[in-house]
Structure formats: C-alpha cells, structure tokens
Amino acid sequence: MIFTRNPELGKVKTRLAKSLGNEKALEIYKFLLNRTKEITQQVSSDKAVFYSVKIRDNDIWDASIFLKFQQEGDDLGERMQNAFQKAFSNGYNKVAIIGSDLFDLTPNHITKAFEELDRNDIVLGPAEDGGYYLLASKKVHPKIFSNKEWGTSSVRKETLNDLEKESVHLLPMLNDVDVVEDIQNHPAFQQFLNS
C-alpha cells in the first residue's frame, strides 16, 4: 500500500516549500512519486495507491498495476489503520504500507519486509527523522495508530513502545524527504537545488 498526497501546488512538501518555494517543492514531490512508482513496480506483490484527496484515473499510477483507493480517516493513524483493515478484509495475510517521499527505498527493502513477517509480527522501516517509512504486519494493531503526534520525531519510539509485546524486525534506517537539509547533499536532488 502506497500512501500519497495528490500532487497539487502549495499542498505537498510544505516544509520543503518554506526553503525552496511551492513550485520547486511540487517538482520534487512529483520526482519522488515517480521514484516510488518505479520501485514498487519491481516488487512481486499486489499494489494499491491510497490518495489523500481524490482518486485520479489518468496519472502516473497505471490502473492495470495499481489498485486505487482514497484514504479514509481524520488523521494519518486512522487513515493507515483503515487501509490495513481494508487489505486484511480483502483476504491479504501480509500487508506493508509505505509513504511516497523516499528516494533511497529499494524493492529489496519491501521484499525483505514481507520475508521477515514469516518470523516476526511487525516489520518497521525506521526513518532518520524519528518516524518510519515502512510498516508491515499480519494483522491490525490498533494501538500503534492512535495517540501519536504524526510527523514528529517521537513517532517511531512511541510505536515501538506500543509493540513491546510483539516481535519486531527493523529494516535499515533511511532518510525521507521533508526539509531542504534532507536533500542538500544528495546527488539525485542537485538538479532541483542548482536551477
């Protein structure tokens, strides 16, 4: 499951936009969306895109490869929990969710998450900012989706506290793109910083 924001000017990568402006932030977000599409197409699993606002028919997500849904819920936790519930009620027994702001994610990270669910209850991909870029599970764990300040550096720690009775596998730490410091020294983003 891929959580995305509809790529609209002034509504994506707002912290990045403070440094680079809305147009550049939108360019970078579209770049990240394309990267996410390329990576997930290489993973041998069913794939679904969950849109923040409105499902788009003619966009980068090919409907013959990606199922399309709208996120449902008042905050990120509720929207993720609803997406997991939808997947499990549709008969899936292993489900992973990722965001769409990771350049360094590889197909192997996602494949490894599914493999590790054979030996663990939960797989978490820790992000350098204190959150996580991937969450994989075999059932819904409601407490990890509530009482969080989403988008803050405490999310991963609080999530792991909620999971202390479960077996958790941690993937390698990656950097998700939120602020200009996340991309300043990354070769892939120099095209946006130098123009």
Position 152 scores a pLDDT of 86
Burial class from Cβ neighbours inside 10 Å (0-12, 13-18, 19+) for residue 48 reads buried
Percent of the chain with pLDDT over 90: 90
CA distance 117 to 88: 15
Query: Crossing angle of helices 22-41/107-116, nearest 10°?
Result: 60
Q: What is the CATH number of the domain that holds 159?
A: 3.90.550.10
Summarised one tens digit per residue, pLDDT across range 87-115 is 999 999 999 999 999 999 999 999 999 99
Position 195 scores a pLDDT of 63
From residue 12, alpha-carbon distances to 8, 22, 65, 180 in Å are: 7, 8, 24, 14
Domain containing 11: what range?
2-193
Domain count, the chain: 1
Question: DSSP letters along 158-178, please?
Answer: HHHHHTTTS-EEEPPPB----
Chunk the chain into consecutive blocks of 10 residues (it has 195) and report each block's average pLDDT, rounded to whole numbers.
94 92 95 97 96 92 96 96 97 96 95 98 95 96 93 92 96 93 91 82
Q: Are 110 and 135 in contact (CB under 8 A)?
A: no
Position 106 scores a pLDDT of 96
CA distance 33 to 73: 22
Please, what is the Cα angle at 185 between 182 and 188, to 5 degrees? 85
